[in-house]
Structure 1
Amino acid sequence: MTDSLFSSLSLRGTELSNRIMVSPMCQYSSTDGLANDWHLVHLGSRAVGGASIVMTEATAVSPEGRISPNDLGIWSDEHAEALERTTTFVKSMDSVPAIQLAHAGRKGSKSRPWDGSEPVFPDEGGWNPVAPSDVPWPYEGDAPELHELSTEEVGDVVEEFRVAAERALDAGFEIAEVHAAHGYLLHEFLSPVTNHRDDEYGGSFENRTRIVREATEAVRDVWPDDKPVFVRISATDWLDDRESWDLDQSVRLSAALGELGADLIDVSAGGLHPDQQLPNTGPGYQVPYAELIREETGLRVGAVGGIRTARHADEIVRNGRADLAIVGREHLRDPYFALHAAQELDADAEWPPQYRRAVPRR
């Protein structure tokens, strides 16, 4: 049978009731990195809405791994405990709670988007961002001083991913995703635009990809064998006028990650530099990247980018272009996207009993 949006999917010992995942989307609503009622309601409502996987926003593995001082974190036991209410509720809705483990790198220590995304200095509650090389984000004005990581400190970052994964498991998460996309720290190591190192973490493809492989391996080492690990990558920097990270390298990296135990590649793009040249950003504009990685590696992939309708998401799965439809902004507009998609596609989906009186008749 042809897979569809409402086909089940097995990833190790995890059973998904459909192929819809809530994309990780920053909420900038934490204090000191702690989850609160906003996260419970935001993520919980998407579980009520029928998505099979509900993933947190980028969740920092260290305080300086945040994008803004308002980002979610998991660098202490207290942070893990604050997330337990959310994972418990998501699972009670028969959805799978997932966490994106992240480090913002040079893009850290800035204000929330609705406050201007401006640099936040240490005396204002910010910090000195870290990066592979002394190549700061090209702000127009002053910004906190950038710290170039030593070889030993790179190892410390890998360990932070390992410990964060252990805490995420204690908090009740069933899928862990390593964030290596969108110009954040791990992506900064991948791209020669931002990685000018001459140690074992810079130069060749093997060296530039080392930290991503090590972080993935560290997470896989502590994650149970019956639970999946995802990796999100930017398939391209969209910087064709210079030596940069591109789709061919993404295929090579994805294959290597699969050998290390990654179960799905979450394929996005861009975010490394403001000079990026975006393609036509119509519906599904990034799906071809996921499709190629799936074809070339045989790995399961998730597709993102402009997936706005049930029929489009269904076509992506039915045509074998991706195994998951990862839906972001449409889930902000409609927390019940999956339930509404099932109605539109005449598929079976379990509405919560509290809401069944409102289910439209077919």
Structure 2
Amino acid sequence: MSTLFSPFSLGTVTLRNRIVVSPMCQYSAEDGQVGDWHMMHLGGLALSGAGLLFIEASAVEADGRITPGDVGLYSDATEAALGKVINAFRKYSKIPVAIQLAHAGRKSSSRAPWEGGQLIPIGEGGWQTEAPSAVPHAEGEHPPTALDKAGLARLRDAFAESARRAHRLGIEVIELHAAHGYLLHQFLSPLANKRDDEYGGSLENRMRFPLEVFDAVRAALPADKVVGMRVSATDWVAGGWDLEQCTAFARALTQHGCRFIDVSSGGVSPLQQISLGPGYQVGFAEHIRKETGMPTIAVGLITEPEQAEAIVASGQADMVALARAILYDPHWPWHAAAKLGGTVEAPQQYWRSQPRDQKALFGNTLIGQR
């Protein structure tokens, strides 16, 4: 029996298997609104056979978008557009849906990756960014505005309002983005947070605003709604955020009702030195799971079915999330199930595609043709 293809209960949400489709920015929205590209992209991934589908990082404010093409969930128009896409693929897929709510902070107002990814000057269509401190992400960039108390209150409310919108859309799982150098990670990391008030300095102070945001989101939703957090376990820079601080943050989150931790790394500094390799971040998820008891999602260069199986079977993580691998092979879960002896859910229109030596792959009887 494959552990990867065994069910997993994430609070009130039961996943058919332990494979998660990561939130992956497409930089293809218009004024924060998803469109035809997302209908095709998310529709295809909804048919992948994975256990959980994440919608990409969705900004809680227009100025919190990484790029002008980022998805948002901050207005009636962005909510309606996303609802149209979700309702379309729900007709053909029972996959539970999650969303990652985010604010890019000082990394907002940037060009899309295929345009170079640099900060867009205000005179060229960019906007003034905000952050914990007036410290730019990279040398030579225009500095962000340091958030004052009114700004912090506005952002707490924005995260909570976006969570309410996600709930109205029937999204089952909500994840807050505190990784990859974006706003909540900026508060956590001493490399980006140079404040001298109650939100800066000590670890307790640097954790304060992300925990306040979590509490605001938690209070805005029904008690049984699953809310988790994406974290960067380390900045990969000496003197920055590290695994021990991240574990302390995870412990605090357990006391605030967090149901899972999605463990990544890096993103807050261009000085990072990352040791890349297959499953290079899995040990971070394993450590946090062991120290806190929190269900974890492992990410990062997980590409092979046997590798994913070993991660969950050995208890290093409860789930594995795929990004590039599932873009390259949108039916990765099908092929993994064939290798590992599991079954996946597939639309009946595709039932005849299963190989004749894999008649149980889709959990149905192979049908014929007149």
What TM-score bracket applies, with the shorter chain setting the length? over 0.9
Deviations 1:293-352 (A, max 9, x none): 000000100000000011111111100010110111001101111122111111121221
Are 2:256 and 1:260 aligned?
yes
Q: How many angstroms does 1:13 deviate by?
A: 1.5
Deviations 1:122-164 (A, max 9, x none): 333221111100110114x5x4452111122112111110011
**1:320 aligned residue:** 315
**1:47 aligned residue:** 46
Mapped partners of 2:279, 2:162: distance in 1: 32
Q: How many angstroms does 1:3 deviate by?
A: 7.1
**2:220 aligned residue:** 222
Mapped partners of 2:41, 2:98: distance in 1: 14
**1:88 aligned residue:** 87
Mapped partners of 2:288, 2:189: distance in 1: 18
Specify the SS of the correspondent of 1:267. strand
- 1:1-362 aligned at under 5 Å gives the runs 4-92=3-91, 93-139=93-139, 141=140, 143-240=141-238, 243-279=239-275, 281-362=276-357
Taking structure 1 as reference, are residues 90 and 20 closer, same or farther at Cα in structure 2, changes over 3 Å only?
A: farther
TM-score (norm 1): 0.95
Specify the SS of the correspondent of 2:195. coil
Maintained 8 Å contact 1:6/1:348: yes
Mapped partners of 1:101, 1:69: distance in 2: 16
Mapped partners of 1:100, 1:273: distance in 2: 22
Q: Partner amino acid for 1:253? A: F
Maintained 8 Å contact 2:233/2:263: yes
Maintained 8 Å contact 2:135/2:143: no
Q: How many angstroms does 1:52 deviate by?
A: 1.4
Mapped partners of 2:162, 2:75: distance in 1: 8
**2:360 aligned residue:** none
Q: Partner amino acid for 1:291? A: E
Question: Where has structure 1 moved over 6 Å in runs of 4 or more?
Answer: none
Mapped partners of 1:3, 1:163: distance in 2: 40
Q: Partner amino acid for 1:309? A: E
Q: Partner amino acid for 1:112? A: A
Q: Partner amino acid for 1:265? A: I
Q: How many angstroms does 1:224 deviate by?
A: 2.4
Q: Partner amino acid for 1:121? A: P
Specify the SS of the correspondent of 1:229. strand
Mapped partners of 2:193, 2:273: distance in 1: 20
Q: Partner amino acid for 2:18? A: R
TM-score (norm 2): 0.93
Q: Partner amino acid for 1:320? A: G
Mapped partners of 2:16, 2:181: distance in 1: 32
Q: How many angstroms does 1:85 deviate by?
A: 2.4
Taking structure 1 as reference, are residues 247 and 328 closer, same or farther at Cα in structure 2, changes over 3 Å only?
A: same
Deviations 1:91-150 (A, max 9, x none): 4411011110000011110111111112212333221111100110114x5x44521111
Mapped partners of 2:256, 2:100: distance in 1: 18
Gaps of 5+ in 2: 358-370
Mapped partners of 1:347, 1:220: distance in 2: 35
Percent identity between the aligned chains?
47
Worse overlay, 146-155 or 103-112: 146-155
Total equivalences in the alignment: 356
Q: Partner amino acid for 2:83? A: E
Gaps of 5+ in 1: none
